[in-house]
Amino acid sequence: MNGATDMNNSQLILHNALIVTMDTELHVFLNGGIVIENDRIIAVGQSSDIIRQYSSNSQEIIDLHGQFLLPGFINTHVHTSQQLARGIADDVDLLTWLHHRIWPYESNMTEEDSYISTLLCGIELIHSGVTCFAEAGGQHVSGMAKAVELLGLRACLTESIMDSGEGLPSSWGVRTADECIQSQKELHKKHNNTADGRIRIWFGIRQIMNSTDRLLLATRDASKQLKTGIHMHVAEIPSENEVVMQTREVDHGTVTYLEKIKFLTSNLLAAHSVWVNEKEIGFLSSCGVKVSHCPAAAMRMLGFAPIREMLDANVCVSLGTDGAPSNNRMSIVDEMYLASLINKGREVYTNGTTNPKLLPAESVLKMTTINAAKAVLWENDIGSLEVGKKADMIVINPSSWSMVPVHDCISSLVYCLRSENVVSVMCNGSWIMKNKKIMNVDEAEIISRAKHASKELLKRAGIQIPNRMNLI
């Protein structure tokens, strides 16, 4: 515990909490306290020490009555502009999913749609304890940024970027690589480091089949120049690797090709990365590429990602929800549970024997906190509760039917926790949800606007969802 105090600043103490710090030694204070000055943490320690040292200088002291305090969760792959598309592509094949549902939906979005979609998505993210997310690449970054600023969240926002590919909606037109880079540089200039530093702008690559080499290499160079990240869908399905092998003359798939052209770097966040072989996992590891594992979307559309092998090779793996049309639930809490189960289940599938010790709860918690902070290139400020870091944290009430009794607090956070147990969320030193109430927007009003906007958008896009069962 340390940290200087300044009487001119606003100081808040949270105490009498079980604090899971996720610091390098994985300290857990069974009865801990934390001091927040403006937007940063200035002390973490035993409750009694914190109260003794800081209470005379603090404007507010909150007794958490034994509730849990954790770093805010970080969702490293989410499509905020797809939230209004929840349920438009359930149980359909991949071609229908992309060409007849998602592309018509995205190509008919207005900036206002993107704004409402991001508000709706953000509300769900906050309810599941998310304080920071990485946008996977969507429509109308300005609409997203407006919503993120209002909600009080932290985000790395990315435009959906493609400069080639077949079957794209005619209204999109295909932009050249140079136009793609220019557009993102302008977004960076306009929005990067805005909203009190909560918004960062990244470069996007939708996927390799929609990218020329010129775009890939210009993206790599521009991201280095602006010292920001690249978010890209990588090795999602077997046919992606097959196309790459046929058209780009390599012996495996996307990762092999990206390594060949020297695109793999430590500022690349590779989403999914399901169809990678041992050699390619080696490339991801040696180049410091970060992987976003999205268990629900993988099970629905893609396949088993070799997460155990990636962790064994020291690849930084984090968790993402993907978008509402591929998962439907934007709850990172659900993804933690799924990640723990699916990767245990995969062992049975691949090795013919069970291994319940694989991917223990503490590893899963790292994936949504400190590893995720590294994935979004923000680990100096977020991902753990430590002196000097930003005050991004969540309060969890473990005294409900879903968690009681708690005999092992760490495993309970992965195997029992539900979004409903997340009661309060702080980002950048401000409460963005308190006692389950979203603080900066009217939740009911956003839900009503989202219902209307999604209906209108589907009508404009000509998307019709066929009836199931006997609707009367």
Footprint of Zn ion on this chain (CB under 5 A)? Answer: 136, 322
Distance CA 2, CA 388 (A): 10
Identify which of residues 37 and 240 has a Cβ nearer to Zn ion in the complex.
240
Identify which of residues 35 and 297 has a Cβ nearer to Zn ion in the complex.
297
At its nearest, how many Å lie between Zn ion and the CB of residue 157?
Answer: 14
Identify which of residues 20 and 141 has a Cβ nearer to Zn ion in the complex.
141
Distance CA 379, CA 394 (A): 17
Tokens coding 165 = 């590919």
Distance CA 88, CA 111 (A): 20
Identify which of residues 121 and 427 has a Cβ nearer to Zn ion in the complex.
121
Residue 430: strand, helix, or coil: strand
At its nearest, how many Å lie between Zn ion and the CB of residue 294?
Answer: 7
Strand partners for 35:
13, 43
Identify which of residues 302 and 395 has a Cβ nearer to Zn ion in the complex.
302
At its nearest, how many Å lie between Zn ion and the CB of residue 252?
Answer: 22
Distance CA 378, CA 290 (A): 13
φ and ψ of 89, to 5 deg: -145, 40
Instruction: Say which residues have a Cβ less than 8 Å from residue 433's Cβ, sequence separation at least 6.
Output: 126, 127, 422, 423, 424, 425, 439
DSSP letters spanning 167-223: S--TTT-PPPHHHHHHHHHHHHHHHTTBTTTTEEEEEEE--GGG--HHHHHHHHHHH
At its nearest, how many Å lie between Zn ion and the CB of residue 239?
Answer: 17
At its nearest, how many Å lie between Zn ion and the CB of residue 346?
Answer: 21
Burial of 405 (0-12, 13-18, 19+ CB in 10 A): exposed
At its nearest, how many Å lie between Zn ion and the CB of residue 138?
Answer: 9
Residue number, nearest CB to Zn ion: 136
Identify which of residues 234 and 453 has a Cβ nearer to Zn ion in the complex.
234
At its nearest, how many Å lie between Zn ion and the CB of residue 268?
Answer: 15
Identify which of residues 136 and 205 has a Cβ nearer to Zn ion in the complex.
136
Distance CA 414, CA 363 (A): 10
At its nearest, how many Å lie between Zn ion and the CB of residue 293?
Answer: 12
Identify which of residues 103 and 415 has a Cβ nearer to Zn ion in the complex.
103
Amino acid (one-letter) located at 306:
P
